[in-house]
Structure 1
């Protein structure tokens, strides 16, 4: 059996490989990277390196040769639907028998612009006839580091989703499920991977407890939220991107109650305070 992880040089992919090599022989693990330079550490670690970009169907077909099971880490927004279609087409052409795909929470019902590419990809995988698991990852605690860092440096925890709730968990925990899926765990076609549902106000209180710092918690308007992040060093376009995330959260796109995560892991998720300690260490 030959396994391949895409996005192998990114944060999620790195964590997934760490878990995967404890489940299957490293000689059976291939990784996909865009360049030899990026892949050099993986090659040195003993992984079978395949080079391809999601935009290049021919290269993907070559990279997927001999692969049985694929952990398909979603690409960056932009031309994502066409690129993801290439991955699915190449997987079918190569005879891949299973795909685990990192998708979006409650994808078929989400209103976020981010969800559209994931809905498209889920449908493409279904049409391909390849067995699959959609890993509908909620939100990484790591995604909140700009807001957290700003709170610790300025004394103000500023957010824009006053009633929104999120199922945060650590990136490594999502990646552990991805590795288990790839290695052959008996998972259903859809896993709603959501941690304990919390508001930003609750997250702020947990941060106060672990940082031993007092700061003001502010549910801000759009302009104040963006300007606060810009003042702490984020480029304008990144701050605007974070505002978009806040709008999705306020629209309840990440308010997903599910027991799938801990069931798939086979153990408890990291407690919120412990997760924050890990991020701040």
Structure 2
């Protein structure tokens, strides 16, 4: 059996590889890198490497030759994501890949977020191939909130635009571990898996931060402009970057991430760590 992880030099992909080598022989594992320079770290870590980009159908088909199971980590290039994903899936079908796991978005086919459109499109492409699959509908990385959490600790105050919306925040490494187990072929996974932690609001997230930091934090739910200004003023972010952060808070406010996760204990092989412990790990709190 040969397993290939795309986006292998990125944060999530590299974590998947490191979990995967604890499940199946490392000689069966390949990482997809964009070029030879990017591949060096993977090679030094003992992984096999194939070279291709999502933009090159020919190289993708060559890279997937002999691959049985493929993890497609969604592209970060929003403007080209659909085209790139089609290239990957077409190449996988031509190369005879027998299983695709895809990092999708919570309740992708029913959510209203701009993010969901690309993921619903990609899921449909995979369905149309007839290839066995698992759609890993990932909720929200806790790491996405690190700037906000750090700034709250420094200032004793946080302003967010998430309202009463809920998200299933969890550490990236746990999403990676679920993906590794899915792609390994050693465990039974469904065609669609909602992946995430317990649903909580920003209010509850920052109350947990208060408990373990021992610092009182004023938690203010406001509008997009106020949330952006807070990040500009106190996190020293340019307006454009602050607005991107706030747009993710908008998604949470909309309710698109208020999706109850499936049985993570069953698919991870253990319970997810609690929000409190995840915060301590992320922020190195004791």
TM-score (structure 2 length as normaliser): 0.96
SS of residue in 2 equivalent to 1:78: helix
Contact 2:57-2:91 within 8 A present in 1 as well: yes
Match of 1:21?
Answer: 21
Give the C-alpha shift of residue 105 in structure 1.
Answer: 0.2
Match of 2:144?
Answer: 143
**Distance (whole Å) between structure 2 residues aligned to residue 19 and residue 9 of structure 1:** 14
Match of 2:5?
Answer: 5
Match of 1:160?
Answer: 161
Match of 1:201?
Answer: 203
- The unaligned stretches of length 5 or more in structure 1 are none
SS of residue in 2 equivalent to 1:30: strand
Give the C-alpha shift of residue 237 in structure 1.
Answer: 2.0
Report the RMSD for the aligned CA atoms in angstroms.
1.0
Match of 1:255?
Answer: 258
Give the C-alpha shift of residue 31 in structure 1.
Answer: 0.4
Give the C-alpha shift of residue 191 in structure 1.
Answer: 0.2
Give the C-alpha shift of residue 263 in structure 1.
Answer: 1.9
2:213 is aligned with 1:211: yes
Match of 1:75?
Answer: 75
2:221 is aligned with 1:223: no
Give the C-alpha shift of residue 55 in structure 1.
Answer: 0.9
Match of 1:236?
Answer: 239
2:65 is aligned with 1:65: yes
Give the C-alpha shift of residue 57 in structure 1.
Answer: 0.8
Contact 1:162-1:250 within 8 A present in 2 as well: yes
Match of 2:87?
Answer: 86
Contact 1:165-1:249 within 8 A present in 2 as well: yes
Match of 1:189?
Answer: 191
Give the C-alpha shift of residue 261 in structure 1.
Answer: 2.2
Deviations 1:195-215 (CA, angstroms, capped at 9, x unpaired): 101010000010011122122
Contact 1:157-1:218 within 8 A present in 2 as well: yes
Deviations 1:91-147 (CA, angstroms, capped at 9, x unpaired): 001100000000000011100001110000000000111100000000111111111
SS of residue in 1 equivalent to 2:79: coil
**Distance (whole Å) between structure 2 residues aligned to residue 209 and residue 105 of structure 1:** 29
**Distance (whole Å) between structure 1 residues aligned to residue 192 and residue 29 of structure 2:** 24
Give the C-alpha shift of residue 83 in structure 1.
Answer: 0.3
**Distance (whole Å) between structure 1 residues aligned to residue 35 and residue 236 of structure 2:** 30
**Distance (whole Å) between structure 2 residues aligned to residue 62 and residue 273 of structure 1:** 45
Give the C-alpha shift of residue 10 in structure 1.
Answer: 1.1
Match of 1:56?
Answer: 56
Match of 2:105?
Answer: 104
TM-score (structure 1 length as normaliser): 0.98
